[in-house]
Amino acid sequence: MANLVKKEEFLPAQKQILLADELAFTLGAIIKNTGVEANAQGKKIVKAGTPVTGNILKRQAGFEKGTAENATAVLLHDVDVTAGNENGTIVIFGFIDLDKLDADVQEMYDATMVSKLNKITVVRGNDQINE
């Protein structure tokens, strides 16, 4: 009897942006696709670490991609919003490792945004960014 080879495809591992999982508080939320540009493959991806804005008490109403001025939380994992609004996880308290973010997301982390995220400590390796 011949051996059969079965090919399976798995989803890629989710990016880990937290310094310590056990020291974070996260919530499920709807992530809106407004203001998200499509990439070269035509996908609208909101990347892990992206600042988001919305009402934490009404998170099912949706969070949008935020800016330094209006950030209220940080997206924990990449969310594909190509087909419309999707479920995601937001970090409202914890320690984000800047070195684990994609370069284009790292650029969003200026002094204004870091100060807006008053319950999130941003670190680079072993160096604390918040002051």
**Average pLDDT of the chain to the nearest whole number:** 87
Asked if residue 128 has pLDDT above 90, the reply is no
Classify residue 61 as left (phi > 0), alpha (psi -120 to 50) or beta. Answer: alpha
Rg (alpha carbons) of the chain, rounded to whole number: 17
* Chain segment 73-102, per-residue pLDDT in tens: 999 999 999 999 999 999 999 999 999 999
The type of residue at 90 is: I
**What's the mean pLDDT in 8-36?**
85
Using the 8-state DSSP alphabet, how is residue 69 labeled? T
Please state, in angstroms and rounded to a whole number, the distance separating the CA atoms of residues 6 and 3.
10
Strands (E) located in 8-119: 25-31, 45-46, 51-53, 64-65, 73-75, 79-80, 86-97
Question: What is the per-residue pLDDT for 69?
Answer: 87
- Residue 5 confidence class, pLDDT cut points 50, 70, 90: confident
Using the 8-state DSSP alphabet, how is residue 112 labeled? H
The type of residue at 104 is: D
Question: What is the per-residue pLDDT for 1?
Answer: 54
Phi/psi for 111 (5° steps) reads -60, -35
| Residues of the chain above pLDDT 70, percent | 86
